[in-house]
Amino acid sequence: MHGPLMGRRVYLTGFEPFLKIRENPTEAIVQRLDGERFGDVTVASRVLPVAWEKTPSLLLEDLDRIQPALCVHLGVSGQAQVIRLERFAYNTIRSAFPDNVGAQPEEQPIEIGRPVEATLETPLPLAELLERLKVDGVPAEISTDPGRYLCNRAYYASLNRNQAPAIFIHIPHTDNRDPSGERWTLQRLRIGTESILRSLCEAHCDDPSRAAGLSEGAR
């Protein structure tokens, strides 16, 4: 059950560069937005390491320390043409390539005793958020596949803690273009992220009852 809104903060995360992504736009965005205010809610940002062992533990430590009203997690997708609102996190560790410290675990469940493809679902109403983004001119879609790498691992940790409503968002790389051919510049991605934060803070930090329950797929 979600507790009271302590500190009126939204926890915003991104990731450091990894593999061929030498400049991760999520890192720049969360650093730029750290300390920004949306109404009376303040952004508390963290650039997460790309490391199987450190990522979930650091995220959970932050949740205990920050006590956020809302969690928004960002990851970059090299294939995305639009911003992807991730509906599910999966109980799966799958590492097709090593993390930034060389770890490459074999495929396994995050939680032993649950099916490897069991899911946790965001409690936030993605359809409403999608409509808001369309009004703001931000190309977006709802996705049911966050991958099984560290984006999924961070999302699962956040939803499983069930401390605050959480959502994971995949943003396109700055080399990518939307379906109309317009490039996703860093400024454009930041504006899209701000639109998401503003919408969620207005709707759910001011009225926590709208996100009071956590829907779980196969639990």
Domain ranges of the chain: 9-211
The alpha carbon of 156 is separated from its chain's Cα centroid by a whole number of angstroms, namely 10
pLDDT in tens, 193-207: 999 999 999 887 655
The token pair that represents 201 in the structure block? 């803070």
- For residue 216, the model assigns a pLDDT of 37
Q: Is the pLDDT of residue 163 over 80?
A: yes
Residue type, 103: A
| 0.85 exceeded by pTM | yes
Q: Is the pLDDT of residue 91 over 70?
A: yes
* Whole-number Å distance between alpha carbons of 26 and 159: 20
Render the burial of 60-96: b for 16+ CB within 10 Å, e for the rest. eebbeebbbbbbbbbbbbeebbbbbbbbbbbbbbebe
Name the architecture of domain 9-211: 3-Layer(aba) Sandwich (3.40)
Higher per-residue pLDDT: 189 or 213: 189
- For residue 203, the model assigns a pLDDT of 81
- The confidence band for 211, taking pLDDT boundaries of 50, 70 and 90, is very low
Q: Is the pLDDT of residue 5 over 70?
A: no
Quick count: other Cβ atoms within 10 Å of Cβ 119? Answer: 20
Q: Is the pLDDT of residue 97 over 80?
A: yes
- For residue 212, the model assigns a pLDDT of 42
Q: Which residues are catalytic?
A: 86, 151, 170
- The confidence band for 214, taking pLDDT boundaries of 50, 70 and 90, is very low
CB 81 within 8 A of CB 40: no
* Whole-number Å distance between alpha carbons of 102 and 25: 22
CB 52 within 8 A of CB 105: yes
What phi and psi, each to the nearest 5 degrees, are found at residue 108?
-165, 160
Q: Is the pLDDT of residue 215 over 50?
A: no
The alpha carbon of 215 is separated from its chain's Cα centroid by a whole number of angstroms, namely 17
